[in-house]
Amino acid sequence: MSPLSPLPLANAATRLATRLVCLALWLGALGCATSQPAKPIYTADERHVLSYCVGLSNFAMGVGAVKLSGGSADDVKELYASNPTSGVSAELAYSVVDFVYSVDSDSPYGYMAQYFQGCSENVAEVQRDRAEPASHCLRRAYIAMGAHAYKEKGQPVEAAYEKFEVLKEPAMKEVVSRVYAQTQDLGSAESDAWNVCMESLSAP
């Protein structure tokens, strides 16, 4: 998979998350933005696996929204069983569900960020200090998904700026404006924001 192509797993997991909650737009807090390093800090292989983590984190976000609305883990698993998503096995999907129901957060985005952190460390084998810039890129990808939802609802770009200002992301307006300026599906909007951010962080 080219590092600049849309993320197949991200697209699949996002579709499932959308079925669960029609895209969660609650906002959570992730720490301060990380400055961009002068040289690549991720290998091509690390970037590939981190991109895989983005897709699963999308699913975790959707599961988190169901949890916060009062749904049970069994509810999510039953929904998945009736609507399996290509690229995500039942065993893997259920492990994401179990993770979300084992931790706490006050927003679906918080579950997304927590899952990405764990996936970065345990699957990509990128330790927490090195994973922080990638988490920053995940936040941009999340903003892009939210901006896409706002655009699809016919909301002006200024409304999206106001909504995502709370995340204190320096590139927020750039990400939102890019989504509004292009014709993309939800998965492509997310992967575009992720890849643009990761471009300067990764080796070719």
pLDDT digit string (tens) for the chain, length 204 residues: 333 333 445 455 555 554 454 333 333 333 333 444 446 789 999 999 999 999 999 999 999 999 999 999 999 999 888 877 667 788 999 999 999 999 999 999 999 999 999 999 999 999 988 999 999 999 999 999 999 999 999 999 999 999 999 888 889 999 999 999 999 999 999 999 999 999 989 887
Dihedral Cα 116, 117, 121, 125, nearest 10 deg? 50
* pLDDT value at residue 84: 73
Q: Is 30 in contact with 113 (CB distance < 8 Å)?
A: yes
Of 62, 64, 53, whose CA–CA distance to 137 is shortest? Answer: 53
Give the domain ranges of the chain: 8-22+36-199
Is the backbone of residue 72 left (phi > 0), alpha (psi -120 to 50) or beta?
beta
SS3 label, residue 49: helix
Q: Give the DSSP letter of residue 164.
A: H
